[in-house]
Chains A and B, each alone.
Chain A
Amino acid sequence: MVVQSANGRFDVGLQSRTSMAASLLSLVDLEVRRGMTVVLTGFNLEVASKDVVVLHGENGSGKSTIIESCARLLPLEAGSVHHHGSLVVDSEGRRFLAKKPFGLTLQSNGLLGDETVENHLSTVCSLSGMKAELLPTLEAYGLTHRRFDRIGQLSGGQARKVAVLAGLLPAMISPQPRLVLLDEPDSGLDDNALAALISDIGKLREAGHAFVIASHHPEIMKCATRLHNLESETIQEQPKCQPWQALGTQEKVSLLSTKTGHRYLRSTRAGLARNGLTALLVLGTLLAFIDPVSFDKTILVGFVLAAPFAAGLAGDPVVYLMREQRAVDWWRAHVNRLPAADFLAPVLGFILTVIGCVLFLDTINWKLSLVGAGVLWVTLLCVRFIELSTLRLARPNAVFIRLLLPILILPWALVVEYAAIL
């Protein structure tokens, strides 16, 4: 049965009017700009348990903007976004972590090419504080044989399946109602995967989960309970089906960002390739021209600490990795603290300073090595902070962010003077 709603751009869902308490998502008077254009204005939406809201409309009408606003990725000009009744982002700049995990599939996959399928999906489970046996799900999407492969080795369609699965997983593993946000999930999926996706959406809806999906695909539109073209809404009845049985079990998770950052670095060796090599090149260059015997101790300590400082100036390798396919945005939606090279920084700083001590001071100074570890760690944090400040830009890689790094030279020089008396 198809029912045209009383309609209006600012209408709220008919189902949700009856049970505001069960609201999984509320968008209140949303106004969002992209570039200089106001894409959404005065937009309201309530999504309750068992809602499947499919947003459709012309390109540029604001479907992805709604999904990304719901995932707290876009700053709001006006209004607020609430998950499960709690504020997650508003126009005052407040931005809180969603109290209940939610699923997200962005238009860009948000995946790291060096992650394995298994690792990425396990991380998604960990973000929900759960673990699950993923084999049956991977089988349904034809990914079993690719379970331990790196995502970068998959075809575009297979990678899209992983991204879609990552979006569905928080609902699949949870017995409690969860919100799932999917932006063009059908793009690149083959017929079998699309059928599996539509079947899963139906089962998960029956289990009480809610979906907001941006799509033009007729099959996806058919499985909607509410078709929304951003102006008006159409209600669709859906047949009953077998509800989804939650797959997950509780798991205690701690230091997820640090562990994930460490795993990224272990699998890519980006820390050594970027930071380590930069530091070694600095050491090599200094050695090529300098005879350590002819300098006083302060200058030699400066040479020793130049290597960890240069390694820190190269920036956080995890942030660099996460720029691939908007992985950083996917993470920003889910956590307040992004994965980082927390473990690598002090260890690498310590090792580089020990090498520098041997080369320039002819002895290992343990105190100085600890200072070196601190220098690399603090420098990396500062560079990371500056780099993350530009993430909102349309072309964050095009800004000359390193022009601001000389601010770190004076503090480094002061540390060198202090370290020289150790």
Chain B
Amino acid sequence: MRRQIPEMFLGVGFVGIMTTLFLGLNWAPSVSIDAFESPAAQRIFYWHVPSAWAAFIAFGVLFTGSALWFFKRSPFGWRLHVAGTEAGLACGLMTVWSGCVWGAAEWGTPWDWTDVRLNTFGLLTLLALFLVLGRQSQPDGVETRDTFSSFGLYGFVLVPLTYIATRIWQIRHPGPVIGAGDGGGSLQSSMALVLLIGALSFTLFIIGHMMISMRITHLEQRLEHAQKSLDGGN
């Protein structure tokens, strides 16, 4: 039963995400047509914000794993690093893609290079892509792990920067929705409920994803160890 926990997380998370999508598109109330250029596109919000939240969790795991490997040489830390990069890439791409669609409808442009938050989040996603592709291009070893975990540590500076960017350099992107510190702001209770379901579902999904990713990395390491043993025996 314990071995099935990651799959359970993935399954429950997936069902929750689908529910969020359904509720967001069909049940949640529409926003005022005066407040938005494209009110219908606002429903992307129920996908965009939870995926960004999950991406930040994944980037947090990436940072923790990088620090554990870099300072403690912990194999568990490296597995966290790998899981964090893959999950961060997946959620980062979901956030960027949904944001681009929403931005194109609402602002008339999918991307704004002068918006600090967009840039820092985009860069975090590119960092995750760099780490995933880089890891695949290199043989596993301390050189690879040291280099990529140091990039993971540098990259994490962007996480708090991204969060506070809208408060300091807000140009187009609205302020933070989760943890805004102003009592939740202007969200109606039904909208907040859908958003909450989305955030919880994405959280469960990403935790399940990372647990499975760590298991796969562990198996890869065992396989490589076994192959090296065979090489030594020849």
Contacts and interface: CB of A to CB of B under 8 A. Distances in A.
Interface of A: 33-36, 75, 77, 389-390, 392-395, 398-401, 403-404, 406-407, 409-410, 413-414
B113 A403 contact: no
A390 B133 CA distance: 14
Contacts of A404: 123, 126-127, 130, 151
Nearest to B127: A404
A203 B143 CA distance: 39
A392 B126 CA distance: 21
B139 interface: yes
Given A393-B143, A403-B127, A407-B119, 7 more contacts: A36-B140, A36-B141, A389-B150, A390-B147, A392-B143, A403-B129, A407-B123
Nearest to A38: B142
Nearest to B128: A403
B147 A33 contact: no
Given A390-B147, A406-B119, A413-B114, A400 B142 contact: no
Contacts of A400: 129-130, 133-134, 137
Nearest to B136: A398
Interface of B: 113-114, 116, 119, 122-123, 126-127, 129-130, 133-134, 137-144, 146-147, 150-151, 224
A315 to B, nearest CB: 16
B127 A394 contact: no
B56 to A, nearest CB: 18
A410 B119 contact: yes
Contacts of B141: 33-36, 394
Contacts of B140: 35-36
Contact of B138 (A77, A394, A410, A414): A394
Given A398-B137, A406-B123, A389 B142 contact: no
Main secondary structure of the interface of A (DSSP, over half): mixed
24 contacts: A33-B141, A34-B143, A35-B140, A35-B143, A36-B142, A75-B142, A77-B142, A389-B147, A389-B150, A390-B147, A392-B143, A394-B139, A394-B141, A395-B139, A398-B138, A399-B133, A399-B134, A399-B137, A400-B129, A403-B126, A403-B127, A406-B119, A406-B122, A407-B119
Main secondary structure of the interface of B (DSSP, over half): helix
Nearest to B115: A410
Nearest to B145: A36
A389 B116 CA distance: 25
B126 A406 contact: yes
A36 B122 CA distance: 33
Interface centre among A398, A399, A407, A413 (most CB of B within 10 A): A399
Nearest to B169: A410
B196 to A, nearest CB: 33
A409 B142 contact: no
Contacts of B138: 393-395, 398-399
A393 B143 CA distance: 6
Given A33-B142, A398-B138, A399-B130, A392 B147 contact: yes
A389 B129 CA distance: 17
Contact of A410 (B116, B137, B151): B116
A410 B118 CA distance: 10
Contacts of B137: 395, 398-400
B104 to A, nearest CB: 19
Contacts of A395: 137-139
A406 B129 CA distance: 13
A389 B126 contact: no
A210 to B, nearest CB: 29
